[in-house]
Amino acid sequence: MAEQVLARGMTRLMDDVLQAGGAVEEGVCNEQCLLQSKLDSLVPYTSRLLGFFQKSQAGDSVDGLMSPSKAGYRWRGHTESHTLTLGLDNYPWALVPSTGELHIGLYSWVAYMTCLNAKLSSTAGDAELESHLEMLEKIHWNTQENMYCDVMMGICKDYDELKDENEGLEHVFVCHCRYISLFPMLLGLVLPDSKKLGHILSMIEVPEELWAEFGIWSLSKRDEFYGQGKNYWWGSILININYLILSSLHCNYMGVEGLYQEQAWSIYTRLCNNLIANVFEQYQSSRFFWEQYNSEGSAGQHTYPFTGWTTLIVLLMAEKH
Protein backbone atom coordinates (compact mmCIF):
# COMPACT_ATOMS: atom_id res chain seq x y z
CA MET A 1 0.00 0.00 0.00
CA ALA A 2 3.01 2.31 0.22
CA GLU A 3 2.77 3.01 -3.50
CA GLN A 4 -0.74 4.34 -2.99
CA VAL A 5 0.55 6.94 -0.55
CA LEU A 6 3.52 7.77 -2.77
CA ALA A 7 1.20 8.23 -5.76
CA ARG A 8 -0.73 10.90 -3.89
CA GLY A 9 2.50 12.73 -3.08
CA MET A 10 3.48 12.51 -6.74
CA THR A 11 0.15 14.06 -7.68
CA ARG A 12 0.78 17.05 -5.44
CA LEU A 13 4.28 17.46 -6.89
CA MET A 14 2.88 17.45 -10.42
CA ASP A 15 0.21 19.98 -9.48
CA ASP A 16 2.85 22.32 -8.04
CA VAL A 17 5.01 22.01 -11.12
CA LEU A 18 2.19 22.49 -13.59
CA GLN A 19 0.86 25.53 -11.73
CA ALA A 20 4.31 27.08 -11.60
CA GLY A 21 4.57 26.67 -15.34
CA GLY A 22 8.31 26.01 -15.28
CA ALA A 23 9.23 29.64 -15.84
CA VAL A 24 12.36 30.24 -17.87
CA GLU A 25 14.30 33.52 -17.85
CA GLU A 26 17.12 34.28 -20.27
CA GLY A 27 17.41 30.64 -21.21
CA VAL A 28 18.16 29.49 -17.66
CA CYS A 29 15.79 26.93 -16.15
CA ASN A 30 14.87 27.48 -12.55
CA GLU A 31 14.15 24.66 -10.13
CA GLN A 32 10.53 24.29 -11.24
CA CYS A 33 11.60 23.98 -14.86
CA LEU A 34 14.04 21.22 -13.96
CA LEU A 35 11.31 19.39 -12.07
CA GLN A 36 9.02 19.69 -15.08
CA SER A 37 11.75 18.23 -17.25
CA LYS A 38 12.06 15.30 -14.88
CA LEU A 39 8.32 14.74 -14.99
CA ASP A 40 8.33 14.88 -18.80
CA SER A 41 10.93 12.12 -18.84
CA LEU A 42 8.55 9.87 -16.90
CA VAL A 43 5.82 9.97 -19.54
CA PRO A 44 7.06 7.03 -21.65
CA TYR A 45 7.22 4.86 -18.54
CA THR A 46 3.88 5.88 -17.06
CA SER A 47 2.25 5.43 -20.47
CA ARG A 48 3.75 1.96 -20.74
CA LEU A 49 2.51 1.03 -17.27
CA LEU A 50 -0.96 2.36 -18.02
CA GLY A 51 -1.03 0.50 -21.33
CA PHE A 52 -0.04 -2.73 -19.58
CA PHE A 53 -3.03 -2.54 -17.21
CA GLN A 54 -5.41 -1.51 -19.99
CA LYS A 55 -4.43 -4.49 -22.12
CA SER A 56 -3.65 -7.23 -19.62
CA GLN A 57 -6.57 -6.55 -17.26
CA ALA A 58 -9.23 -5.54 -19.78
CA GLY A 59 -12.71 -6.93 -19.28
CA ASP A 60 -14.28 -9.16 -21.91
CA SER A 61 -16.58 -7.33 -24.34
CA VAL A 62 -19.31 -8.85 -26.45
CA ASP A 63 -17.69 -8.41 -29.83
CA GLY A 64 -14.11 -7.75 -28.82
CA LEU A 65 -14.25 -4.29 -30.35
CA MET A 66 -14.99 -2.20 -27.26
CA SER A 67 -12.23 -0.02 -25.83
CA PRO A 68 -11.02 -1.18 -22.40
CA SER A 69 -12.64 1.81 -20.68
CA LYS A 70 -16.06 0.85 -22.09
CA ALA A 71 -15.63 -2.89 -21.53
CA GLY A 72 -14.40 -2.46 -17.96
CA TYR A 73 -11.50 -4.19 -16.23
CA ARG A 74 -11.04 -7.53 -14.50
CA TRP A 75 -8.32 -8.63 -12.08
CA ARG A 76 -6.63 -11.75 -13.40
CA GLY A 77 -5.91 -14.56 -10.95
CA HIS A 78 -9.21 -14.23 -9.05
CA THR A 79 -10.19 -17.42 -7.22
CA GLU A 80 -13.12 -18.30 -4.97
CA SER A 81 -11.30 -17.04 -1.87
CA HIS A 82 -8.55 -14.66 -3.00
CA THR A 83 -7.57 -11.97 -5.48
CA LEU A 84 -3.88 -11.62 -4.74
CA THR A 85 -3.29 -9.24 -7.67
CA LEU A 86 -5.43 -6.62 -5.92
CA GLY A 87 -3.57 -6.67 -2.62
CA LEU A 88 -6.82 -6.54 -0.63
CA ASP A 89 -6.75 -10.23 -1.31
CA ASN A 90 -9.52 -12.09 0.52
CA TYR A 91 -12.45 -9.71 0.10
CA PRO A 92 -15.86 -11.23 -0.74
CA TRP A 93 -16.39 -11.17 -4.50
CA ALA A 94 -18.75 -12.88 -6.87
CA LEU A 95 -19.42 -16.36 -5.53
CA VAL A 96 -18.38 -17.90 -8.85
CA PRO A 97 -15.13 -16.45 -10.26
CA SER A 98 -15.25 -16.02 -14.02
CA THR A 99 -14.20 -13.98 -17.00
CA GLY A 100 -17.53 -12.17 -16.81
CA GLU A 101 -16.50 -10.09 -13.78
CA LEU A 102 -15.72 -6.37 -13.86
CA HIS A 103 -13.98 -4.97 -10.78
CA ILE A 104 -14.60 -1.46 -9.45
CA GLY A 105 -11.28 -1.30 -7.59
CA LEU A 106 -9.29 -2.01 -10.74
CA TYR A 107 -11.34 0.43 -12.84
CA SER A 108 -10.68 3.11 -10.22
CA TRP A 109 -6.91 2.53 -10.34
CA VAL A 110 -6.81 2.62 -14.15
CA ALA A 111 -8.87 5.82 -14.21
CA TYR A 112 -6.53 7.32 -11.59
CA MET A 113 -3.44 6.36 -13.61
CA THR A 114 -5.06 7.87 -16.69
CA CYS A 115 -5.57 11.09 -14.74
CA LEU A 116 -1.93 11.18 -13.60
CA ASN A 117 -0.69 10.48 -17.10
CA ALA A 118 -2.84 13.32 -18.46
CA LYS A 119 -1.28 15.70 -15.93
CA LEU A 120 2.22 14.56 -16.82
CA SER A 121 1.88 14.94 -20.55
CA SER A 122 0.15 17.47 -22.79
CA THR A 123 -0.17 14.71 -25.39
CA ALA A 124 -2.27 12.48 -23.12
CA GLY A 125 -5.83 12.68 -24.33
CA ASP A 126 -8.44 14.29 -22.12
CA ALA A 127 -11.00 12.34 -24.13
CA GLU A 128 -9.62 9.06 -22.77
CA LEU A 129 -9.84 10.35 -19.20
CA GLU A 130 -13.40 11.62 -19.71
CA SER A 131 -14.35 8.26 -21.19
CA HIS A 132 -13.04 6.43 -18.14
CA LEU A 133 -14.85 8.70 -15.69
CA GLU A 134 -18.08 8.46 -17.66
CA MET A 135 -17.97 4.68 -17.94
CA LEU A 136 -17.01 4.35 -14.27
CA GLU A 137 -20.48 5.67 -13.49
CA LYS A 138 -22.29 3.69 -16.19
CA ILE A 139 -20.70 0.35 -15.40
CA HIS A 140 -20.24 0.38 -11.64
CA TRP A 141 -22.68 2.80 -9.97
CA ASN A 142 -25.72 0.99 -8.57
CA THR A 143 -28.62 3.44 -8.32
CA GLN A 144 -30.61 1.13 -6.02
CA GLU A 145 -27.84 0.63 -3.46
CA ASN A 146 -26.33 4.09 -4.09
CA MET A 147 -22.81 2.70 -4.12
CA TYR A 148 -20.08 1.52 -6.46
CA CYS A 149 -20.16 -2.24 -7.02
CA ASP A 150 -18.44 -4.98 -8.94
CA VAL A 151 -20.35 -6.33 -11.92
CA MET A 152 -21.07 -9.76 -13.36
CA MET A 153 -21.78 -9.93 -17.08
CA GLY A 154 -23.87 -13.03 -17.68
CA ILE A 155 -23.92 -16.31 -15.76
CA CYS A 156 -20.43 -17.75 -15.85
CA LYS A 157 -19.41 -21.14 -14.47
CA ASP A 158 -15.78 -21.57 -15.47
CA TYR A 159 -12.73 -21.17 -13.27
CA ASP A 160 -9.90 -21.45 -15.82
CA GLU A 161 -10.25 -17.97 -17.33
CA LEU A 162 -10.35 -19.44 -20.85
CA LYS A 163 -13.95 -18.95 -21.92
CA ASP A 164 -17.48 -18.51 -20.62
CA GLU A 165 -20.61 -20.39 -21.52
CA ASN A 166 -22.80 -17.32 -21.55
CA GLU A 167 -25.04 -16.23 -24.37
CA GLY A 168 -25.87 -12.56 -24.18
CA LEU A 169 -24.74 -10.34 -21.34
CA GLU A 170 -26.73 -9.42 -18.27
CA HIS A 171 -25.52 -6.58 -16.08
CA VAL A 172 -25.64 -7.94 -12.52
CA PHE A 173 -24.24 -5.95 -9.60
CA VAL A 174 -22.24 -7.68 -6.87
CA CYS A 175 -22.45 -5.27 -3.95
CA HIS A 176 -20.64 -5.38 -0.64
CA CYS A 177 -20.21 -2.23 1.42
CA ARG A 178 -16.42 -2.26 1.94
CA TYR A 179 -13.21 -0.34 1.40
CA ILE A 180 -13.25 -1.07 -2.32
CA SER A 181 -16.66 0.59 -2.63
CA LEU A 182 -14.95 3.82 -1.56
CA PHE A 183 -12.08 3.70 -4.07
CA PRO A 184 -13.50 6.24 -6.56
CA MET A 185 -13.76 8.74 -3.69
CA LEU A 186 -10.39 7.74 -2.18
CA LEU A 187 -8.70 8.51 -5.51
CA GLY A 188 -10.54 11.79 -6.05
CA LEU A 189 -12.55 10.54 -9.03
CA VAL A 190 -15.90 11.68 -7.58
CA LEU A 191 -16.66 15.37 -8.12
CA PRO A 192 -17.18 17.51 -4.98
CA ASP A 193 -20.69 18.52 -6.07
CA SER A 194 -21.80 15.02 -7.09
CA LYS A 195 -24.72 13.45 -5.25
CA LYS A 196 -22.71 10.25 -5.32
CA LEU A 197 -20.24 11.86 -2.91
CA GLY A 198 -23.08 12.49 -0.48
CA HIS A 199 -24.10 8.82 -0.61
CA ILE A 200 -20.48 7.70 -0.07
CA LEU A 201 -19.92 10.04 2.88
CA SER A 202 -23.17 8.89 4.47
CA MET A 203 -22.13 5.26 3.98
CA ILE A 204 -18.85 6.00 5.77
CA GLU A 205 -20.36 7.62 8.85
CA VAL A 206 -23.38 5.39 9.42
CA PRO A 207 -22.96 3.35 12.63
CA GLU A 208 -23.22 -0.40 12.03
CA GLU A 209 -22.30 0.17 8.35
CA LEU A 210 -18.62 1.21 8.15
CA TRP A 211 -18.27 3.62 11.07
CA ALA A 212 -16.79 2.52 14.39
CA GLU A 213 -15.56 4.64 17.27
CA PHE A 214 -11.97 3.58 16.54
CA GLY A 215 -11.85 3.62 12.74
CA ILE A 216 -13.59 2.62 9.51
CA TRP A 217 -14.35 -1.09 9.15
CA SER A 218 -13.07 -2.90 6.06
CA LEU A 219 -16.47 -4.53 5.56
CA SER A 220 -19.91 -3.48 6.70
CA LYS A 221 -21.16 -5.11 9.86
CA ARG A 222 -24.42 -5.75 8.00
CA ASP A 223 -22.69 -7.87 5.36
CA GLU A 224 -23.25 -11.62 5.55
CA PHE A 225 -19.48 -12.19 5.31
CA TYR A 226 -18.57 -9.81 8.14
CA GLY A 227 -16.06 -11.45 10.51
CA GLN A 228 -16.07 -14.73 8.59
CA GLY A 229 -13.20 -16.83 7.25
CA LYS A 230 -9.68 -15.56 7.86
CA ASN A 231 -11.23 -12.17 8.54
CA TYR A 232 -8.34 -10.11 7.25
CA TRP A 233 -10.41 -7.68 5.15
CA TRP A 234 -13.79 -8.82 6.43
CA GLY A 235 -14.33 -6.22 9.12
CA SER A 236 -10.95 -5.42 10.65
CA ILE A 237 -9.68 -1.83 10.74
CA LEU A 238 -6.54 -1.04 8.73
CA ILE A 239 -4.75 2.27 9.06
CA ASN A 240 -3.58 2.45 5.43
CA ILE A 241 -7.08 2.69 3.96
CA ASN A 242 -8.28 4.92 6.80
CA TYR A 243 -5.35 7.21 5.94
CA LEU A 244 -6.42 7.29 2.28
CA ILE A 245 -9.97 8.18 3.33
CA LEU A 246 -8.73 11.08 5.43
CA SER A 247 -6.21 12.18 2.82
CA SER A 248 -8.87 12.32 0.11
CA LEU A 249 -11.25 14.26 2.34
CA HIS A 250 -8.47 16.71 3.15
CA CYS A 251 -7.14 17.16 -0.39
CA ASN A 252 -10.28 16.86 -2.52
CA TYR A 253 -13.40 17.79 -0.58
CA MET A 254 -12.91 19.77 2.64
CA GLY A 255 -11.65 22.85 0.86
CA VAL A 256 -14.38 22.96 -1.78
CA GLU A 257 -17.52 24.92 -1.01
CA GLY A 258 -20.67 22.94 -1.61
CA LEU A 259 -23.31 20.66 -0.20
CA TYR A 260 -20.87 18.17 1.29
CA GLN A 261 -18.05 20.37 2.59
CA GLU A 262 -19.36 20.46 6.16
CA GLN A 263 -19.98 16.70 6.17
CA ALA A 264 -16.45 16.07 4.86
CA TRP A 265 -15.01 18.27 7.64
CA SER A 266 -17.05 16.47 10.28
CA ILE A 267 -16.00 13.00 9.16
CA TYR A 268 -12.36 14.05 8.85
CA THR A 269 -12.20 15.56 12.34
CA ARG A 270 -13.97 12.71 14.14
CA LEU A 271 -12.24 9.90 12.26
CA CYS A 272 -8.77 11.40 12.65
CA ASN A 273 -9.26 11.85 16.40
CA ASN A 274 -10.66 8.32 16.79
CA LEU A 275 -7.77 6.68 14.94
CA ILE A 276 -5.05 8.57 16.78
CA ALA A 277 -6.66 7.93 20.17
CA ASN A 278 -7.04 4.19 19.58
CA VAL A 279 -3.59 3.54 18.11
CA PHE A 280 -2.04 5.49 20.98
CA GLU A 281 -4.12 3.64 23.57
CA GLN A 282 -3.17 0.25 22.13
CA TYR A 283 0.48 1.32 21.98
CA GLN A 284 0.38 2.33 25.63
CA SER A 285 -1.11 -0.99 26.69
CA SER A 286 1.00 -3.31 24.50
CA ARG A 287 4.00 -1.12 23.56
CA PHE A 288 3.49 -2.09 19.92
CA PHE A 289 2.03 -0.85 16.67
CA TRP A 290 -0.18 -3.54 15.13
CA GLU A 291 -0.88 -4.64 11.57
CA GLN A 292 -4.61 -4.08 12.05
CA TYR A 293 -7.16 -3.45 14.78
CA ASN A 294 -10.07 -5.59 15.86
CA SER A 295 -13.47 -4.58 14.53
CA GLU A 296 -15.22 -5.31 17.82
CA GLY A 297 -12.90 -4.36 20.65
CA SER A 298 -10.34 -1.99 19.05
CA ALA A 299 -7.39 -4.13 20.21
CA GLY A 300 -4.40 -4.66 17.94
CA GLN A 301 -4.15 -7.97 16.10
CA HIS A 302 -2.08 -10.00 13.59
CA THR A 303 1.56 -8.98 13.05
CA TYR A 304 3.43 -6.95 15.67
CA PRO A 305 5.56 -4.92 16.01
CA PHE A 306 4.27 -3.50 12.74
CA THR A 307 5.96 -0.25 11.72
CA GLY A 308 4.60 -0.42 8.18
CA TRP A 309 1.39 1.32 7.22
CA THR A 310 0.24 1.69 10.82
CA THR A 311 2.89 4.38 11.33
CA LEU A 312 0.91 6.53 8.90
CA ILE A 313 -0.76 7.58 12.14
CA VAL A 314 2.24 9.90 12.63
CA LEU A 315 1.42 11.68 9.36
CA LEU A 316 -2.18 12.02 10.50
CA MET A 317 -1.02 13.64 13.74
CA ALA A 318 1.01 16.13 11.68
CA GLU A 319 -1.79 16.47 9.06
CA LYS A 320 0.61 15.51 6.30
CA HIS A 321 -1.34 14.34 3.28
**Residue positions annotated with a catalytic role:** 89, 291
Residues sharing a CB contact under 8 Å with residue 103, sequence separation 6 or more, in sequence order: 72, 73, 74, 75, 83, 86, 93, 150
Query: Which bin fits 292, alpha (ψ -120 to 50), beta or left (φ > 0)?
Result: beta
Cβ pair 253, 267 in contact under 8 A: no
Residue type, 69: S
- φ, ψ dihedrals at 150, nearest 5°: -70, 170
Distances (CA, A) of 132 to 55, 99, 127: 14, 20, 9
Helices (H), 187-260: 195-205, 239-248
Which helix or strand (DSSP H or E) is residue 60 part of? none
CA 295/CA 276 separation, integer angstroms: 16
CA 74/CA 94 separation, integer angstroms: 12
34-41: Cβ within 8 A, 24+ apart: 39/13, 39/14, 39/120, 40/120, 40/121
